[in-house]
Amino acid sequence: MDTDLRHLAQCSRGLEDVLAAELRRLGTDDVDPVPGGALFKADRAQACRVVLWVRSAARVLEPVTTGEILDFEDLYDLVARIRWEDLIGAERTFAVHASVSRAPITDHQFAALKVKDAVADRIRSRRGRRPNVDRKSPDVPLRLVVRGSRAHIFRDLAGSSLHRRGHRPIQVKSPLSEAVAAGLLQLAGWDQASPILDPMCGSGTFLFEAASMALDRAPGLHRRFAAERFPDADPEVWRELRQEARERARDSLPFPILGSDSHAGAVGIAQKVAEDAGMGDVVRFQVADAAVFEPPFVPQIVASNPPWGGRLSGGEDLSSSWRSLGTFLRRCPGAAAYILSGDPGLTRHLGLRSSRRWPIRIGRFDARWLQYELRSERDR
C-alpha cells in the first residue's frame, strides 16, 4: 500500500468544512476539504477511530494506490501491481464500486469489472484460487474513483454507509440522512448544551443526532464495519476503541430535547427508536400540529426539516405545513431557527426573513439550510 496517500472521507456537498473540522478534532493530520469530502492522513488506529466517531461522513476510504491511466488496460495494470493477496486474500469476499468523472474511460461498470478482474487474477496467481465476489455484503469493499486521468483505489472501511447508526430497525426513506442531520447541526453551531426542539420532527432524525452528540455517544458504537473483517485488521484496536466509547457515553442531559409532529405514526416510530436506543428519557415526543404546539420550555435552538416537494409525492398541503411552522416560530422569541428547504417557493409561507443560508446538496436535490433569528414582536 502507498503509505504517503491520504484517506478520503465523503459527505454531502456543503458539509466539507464541517467534516474537515471533525477530522481534526479526531486527531488526524494534513486535513483538506475537497468537493464532496475531505482528505486526511491517519494510521490504522486513527482511521478506525474516525470510522467509529465521525458524524457527518457517509464513507471513510483507505487509500491503496493511485496512478495516471489513459485506458482500461492502464487501469488493469495499475490494480494488478498491488499485493491484494495481503489486503483481501483468497478466503474473503470482495466487490468493486466505481465512480468516473471527466475521464478518458467513461463506462464505470466496465471500469469496475476491470478492477475486479485485476484483483482476482493477482490473488489467483499468488494463492492458487480467486476470491468470490459478494455485491451485497463483501468482506472487503473496494472503491474506484477516477477523476480526469487520475485513478484512485480505496478500501471502504465502513462497508455500508456511515449514516446507518445501528439503532433504527427500519431505515426511514428520506433524503435527510443521519450524517446530513449531524452535519447541519454542526453547521448551525449548536453548542450541545442548549435546549433544542423540532416542531415537525417526523421520525426524529435531527433530535436523535442532537442527543447522540450531547451524550458523547460514538455514532458507530452499535454497528460493525467492513474494516473489522479485513485480513490485516487488529481486533485489539477495535476492542480498545469500543471500550473507550462505552466509558465516554452519558445516560442523561441537564436540558430538554423535544420533538412534535402532526403525524401520530411518525411520532410512534420515533418513540420506539428512542426507547430501543436508550434515549427514552432524553428525547421526548408529542403529537401536535406545529401551529398549536406549545412546548413546556422556550427553545434556544429550533432545527427542522419540514416537508418539501422533493420529499413527498403529494396528498399534503405543503404551503399549509410551512405556514403552521411560521406560526410556531413566531412564538419562540430569542431562539435561532434552522430550517432545511429544497423548494424556495415554500419558504415564503413562513412569513420570516432568513439571516443566513447555506447551499447543501442532498442526494439529487439542491437544498438550503436557512437561519432565522427570531425576535419578539416588540423588536420586529
**Residue 294 burial by CB count (10 A; 0-12/13-18/19+): exposed, middle or buried?**
exposed
Q: What is the pLDDT of residues 171-211, one digit of tens each?
A: 455 558 999 999 999 999 999 999 999 999 998 999 999 99
Sorted by sequence, the CB contacts under 8 Å of residue 202 that are 6+ apart come out as 172, 174, 261, 263, 266, 270, 305
Q: Is the CA virtual torsion 115, 119, 122, 124 positive or negative?
A: negative
Distance between the two ends of the chain, CA-based, in angstroms? 61
What is the share, in percent, of the chain residues with pLDDT greater than 90?
Answer: 86
Distances in whole angstroms, Cα of residue 226 to Cα of each of 208, 251, 254, 323: 24, 28, 36, 45
Read off the pLDDT of residues 49-77 as tens digits, 9 standing for 90 and up: 999 999 999 999 999 999 999 999 999 99
Number of domains in the chain: 2
Q: Distance of CA 21 to CAs 37, 56, 187, 375, Å?
A: 11, 10, 10, 31
Is residue 374 in a domain?
yes
Task: Point out the domain boundary residue: 156, 187, 204.
Answer: 156
Q: Are 213 and 55 in contact (CB under 8 A)?
A: yes
CA 175 from centre of chain? 11
Distance (Å, rounded) from C-alpha 43 to C-alpha 48?
9
CA atoms 12, 328, 265, 218: torsion sign: positive
Does any domain span residue 262?
Answer: yes
User: What φ, ψ does residue 13 adopt, rounded to 5°?
Assistant: -60, 135
In a shared domain, residues 77 and 188: no
- The reply to whether 88 and 122 lie within a common domain is yes
23 in Cβ contact with 47 (< 8 Å): no
Q: Which domain holds residue 324?
A: 178-215+250-379
The yes-or-no verdict on residue 11 having pLDDT over 60 is: yes
pLDDT at 258: 97
Rounded distance between C-alpha atoms, residue 185 and residue 97, angstroms:
30
- In this prediction, residue 317 has a pLDDT band, given cuts at 50, 70 and 90, of confident
The strand pair at 301-304 and 336-341 is best described as parallel
Comparing CA positions, the residue from 173, 175, 120 lying closest to residue 142 is 120
106 Cα distance to chain centroid: 28
CATH of the domain at 287: 3.40.50.150
| Domain assignment present for 226 | no
Which one is predicted more confidently, 172 or 376?
376
Identify whether the C-beta of residue 99 lies closer than 8 Å to the C-beta of residue 143: yes
- Are 204 and 330 members of one domain? yes
> 59-68 and 150-156: which strand pairing?
antiparallel
What span, in angstroms and rounded, lies between the C-alpha atoms of 368 and 358?
A: 5
Assigned domain for 234 exists? no
**Where residue 2 falls among pLDDT bands split at 50, 70, 90?**
very low
Grid coordinates belonging to 29: 493530520
Q: Tens digits of per-residue pLDDT, 70-112?
A: 999 999 999 999 999 999 988 999 999 999 999 999 999 999 9
Select the more confidently predicted residue: 12 or 380: 12
Nearest to 183 by CA among 50, 362, 7: 362
Tell me: do 129 and 276 sit in the same domain. no
Using pLDDT thresholds of 50, 70 and 90, give the confidence band for residue 314. Answer: very low
* Whether residue 194 is found in the same domain as residue 109: no
How many residues in the chain?
A: 380
In a domain, 165, yes or no: no
138 with 266, same domain: the answer is: no
372 and 341 both lie in a single domain: yes
The helix (run of H) or strand (run of E) holding residue 21 is: helix 16-25
Asked whether residue 151 falls in the same domain as residue 196, the answer is: no
Q: What is the mean pLDDT of the chain?
A: 92
Q: 321 and 204 in one domain?
A: yes
More reliable by pLDDT, 297 or 339: 339
Mean pLDDT of 277-282: 92
Do 204 and 274 fall within a single domain?
A: yes
Q: Are residues 102 and 17 both part of a single domain?
A: yes
Indicate whether 364 pLDDT > 90: no
Residue 235 domain-assigned (yes or no): no
- Cα separation, 84 vs 20, in Å, equals 30
- What whole-number distance in Å separates Cα of residue 128 and Cα of residue 123? 7
Final residue of a structural domain among 156, 191, 224: 156
% of the chain at pLDDT higher than 70: 93
Say what the pLDDT of residue 1 is: 39
Q: Comparing C-alpha atoms, which of 375, 371, 331 is closest to residue 190?
A: 371
Phi-psi region of 72 (alpha: psi -120 to 50; beta: other; left: phi over 0): alpha
Residues 27 and 150 in one domain: yes
Is residue 171 domain-resident? no
Q: Which residues contact 93 (CB under 8 A, 6 or more apart)?
A: 131, 132, 133, 134, 137, 138, 139, 140
Task: Determine, yes or no, domain membership for 359.
Answer: yes
Is the pLDDT at 170 greater than 90, yes or no? Answer: no
Helix, strand, coil fractions of the chain, as percent rounded to 5: 35, 25, 45
- Choose among 269, 222, 268, 262: nearest CA to 242: 222
* pLDDT for the residue numbered 169: 56
Q: What is the CATH number of the domain that holds 14?
A: 3.30.2130.30
